[in-house]
């Protein structure tokens, strides 16, 4: 049977796939089954941080694969401990819990916030305030955290204990937190799935100050914004605040499933033995790959990300058919006059793979995409967006 037919018959209908079968790639280029080449401006939704089949990542992964692919969390293994050390040393956080995805990292963050609030404020402080238009995952609890009603409708009842307040409206968020006896506030510094919308600096710093004063935890979902994506190691660093808990996933594993919850001073001892766990979490192969990724997200790589970002803004802002460019680093949302889906289709025909987020064309290229390839992709996007 032809592959597209086979997929349609046997894969659950949850994905509206593009009519393209990709077979292999290298760096920021990927090929389909007919040998057509594409420039990859989506990196698997910000996952392949250093591109496809990256040499150093592949070496780290295959070396670990030949030594020990899994042993369960009943025993010590080296890659996860080294990765946790590096994550803590570079963020000021104190401890790490490893899991396998963004939603799972957020579940760990939410569980910890609930336990902390019960221990420090009382069990009635279980509510968490999240922002309207946020996205935190697709489990029953992270859907409840997600501030977009259309994700909720078909899956009631969701986990109780979440209230949504408008982003960038500090007074309303404070009121929602106090009125509902919230124990924590959870944000994405840039709403990714929501349309690549960065939060305002005054809002984030004001929120961090409010949380500190009232004894609420500040939870930052860095699943999409983390690991160099925004030109800082984590997006909160662009705002000058220190979260109490951070969740991350997507880019950290370089293409293998890995999520992490980072606990700060207040919460490092909140979870005790038996409170939480994951069979696959901290898998040595995923962590060895992640170490090779994180090791290379250094100051010079981050400066390159910012330089490429400036180039994107320069080239796209004010161009014909382009209404607005928003985002940070290599996490960019482009509002086009034409529907984003039409721009995507035209780009695909011309050999450039982009993403959408709400009504925007979303660009999440590999952090190390060569400048020349990036410029080539932008020329195609500009042409596709022209009215």
Task: State yes or no: residue 135 binds ligand PLP (CB under 6 A).
Answer: yes
CA 134 vs. chain centroid, Å, equals 12
Stretch near ligand PLP under the rule CB under 6 A, chosen from 174-182, 216-224, 352-360, 372-380: 216-224
CA 305 vs. chain centroid, Å, equals 16
Which of 221, 312, 328, 333 is in the footprint of ligand PLP by CB under 6 A?
221
Residue labelled with tokens 């949380």: 211
Burial of 287 (0-12, 13-18, 19+ CB in 10 A): buried
By CB under 6 A, the residues from 309 to 338 that bind ligand PLP are none
Nearest to 234 by CA among 92, 351, 126, 106: 92
Task: State yes or no: residue 101 binds ligand PLP (CB under 6 A).
Answer: yes
- Residue placing its CB nearer to ligand PLP in the complex, 101 or 292: 101
- C-beta neighbour count of 106 within 10 angstroms: 28
Per DSSP, 186 falls in state E
Question: How many residues touch ligand PLP (CB under 6 A)?
Answer: 15
Write out the DSSP string of 27-63: BTEEEETT--EEEESSHHHHT-TT-BT-HHHHHHHHH
* In contact, 366 and 40? CB cutoff 8 Å: yes
Stretch near ligand PLP under the rule CB under 6 A, chosen from 13-21, 97-105, 122-130, 269-277: 97-105
Task: State yes or no: residue 102 binds ligand PLP (CB under 6 A).
Answer: yes
Task: State yes or no: residue 229 binds ligand PLP (CB under 6 A).
Answer: no
Task: State yes or no: residue 281 binds ligand PLP (CB under 6 A).
Answer: no
Q: How wide is the angle at C-alpha 47 spanned by C-alphas 36 and 112, nearest 5°? A: 160
- Residue placing its CB nearer to ligand PLP in the complex, 247 or 267: 247
Task: State yes or no: residue 188 binds ligand PLP (CB under 6 A).
Answer: yes
Task: State yes or no: residue 192 binds ligand PLP (CB under 6 A).
Answer: yes
Task: State yes or no: residue 223 binds ligand PLP (CB under 6 A).
Answer: yes
- Smallest gap from Cβ 47 to ligand PLP, in A, equals 9
157 cis-preceded (ω within 30 degrees of 0): yes
Task: State yes or no: residue 137 binds ligand PLP (CB under 6 A).
Answer: yes
Residues in touch with ligand PLP (CB under 6 A): 101-103, 106, 135-137, 188, 192-193, 221, 223-224, 249-250
């Amino acid at each position: 049977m032809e592959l597209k037919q086979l997929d349609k018959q046997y894969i659950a209908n949850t994905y509206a796939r593009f009519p393209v079968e990709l077979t292999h790639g290298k760096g920021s280029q990927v090929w389909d089954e007919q040998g057509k080449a594409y420039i990859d401006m989506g990196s698997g939704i910000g996952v392949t941080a250093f591109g496809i089949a990256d040499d150093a990542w592949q070496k780290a992964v295959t070396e670990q694969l030949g030594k020990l692919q899994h042993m369960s969390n009943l025993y010590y293994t080296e890659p996860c401990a080294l990765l946790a050390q590096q994550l803590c040393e570079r963020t000021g956080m104190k401890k790490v819990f490893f899991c396998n995805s963004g939603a799972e990292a957020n579940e760990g963050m939410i569980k910890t916030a609930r336990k902390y609030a019960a221990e420090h404020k009382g069990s009635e402080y279980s509510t968490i305030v999240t922002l309207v238009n946020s996205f935190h995952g697709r489990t029953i609890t992270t859907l409840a955290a997600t501030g977009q009603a259309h994700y909720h409708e078909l899956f009631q009842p969701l986990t109780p204990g979440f209230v949504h307040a408008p982003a960038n409206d500090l007074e309303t968020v404070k009121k929602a937190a106090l009125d509902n006896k919230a124990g924590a506030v959870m944000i994405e510094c840039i709403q990714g799935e929501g349309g690549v919308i960065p939060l305002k600096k005054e809002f984030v710093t004001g929120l961090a100050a409010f949380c500190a004063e009232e004894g609420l935890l500040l939870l930052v979902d860095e699943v999409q914004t983390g690991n160099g994506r925004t030109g800082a190691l984590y997006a909160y660093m662009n705002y000058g605040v220190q979260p109490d808990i951070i969740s991350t996933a997507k880019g950290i594993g370089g293409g293998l499933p890995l999520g992490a919850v980072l606990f700060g001073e207040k919460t490092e001892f909140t979870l005790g033995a038996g409170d939480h766990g994951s069979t696959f979490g901290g898998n040595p192969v995923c962590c060895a790959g992640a170490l090779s990724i994180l090791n290379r997200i250094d100051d010079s790589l981050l400066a390159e990300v910012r330089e490429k970002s400036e180039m994107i803004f320069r080239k796209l802002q004010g161009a014909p058919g382009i209404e607005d460019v928003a985002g940070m680093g290599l996490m960019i949302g482009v509002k086009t006059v034409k529907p984003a889906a039409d721009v995507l289709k035209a780009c695909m025909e011309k050999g450039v793979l982009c993403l959408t987020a709400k009504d925007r064309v979303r660009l999440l290229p590999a952090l190390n995409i060569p400048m020349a390839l990036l410029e080539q992709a932008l020329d195609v996007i500009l042409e596709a967006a022209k009215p």
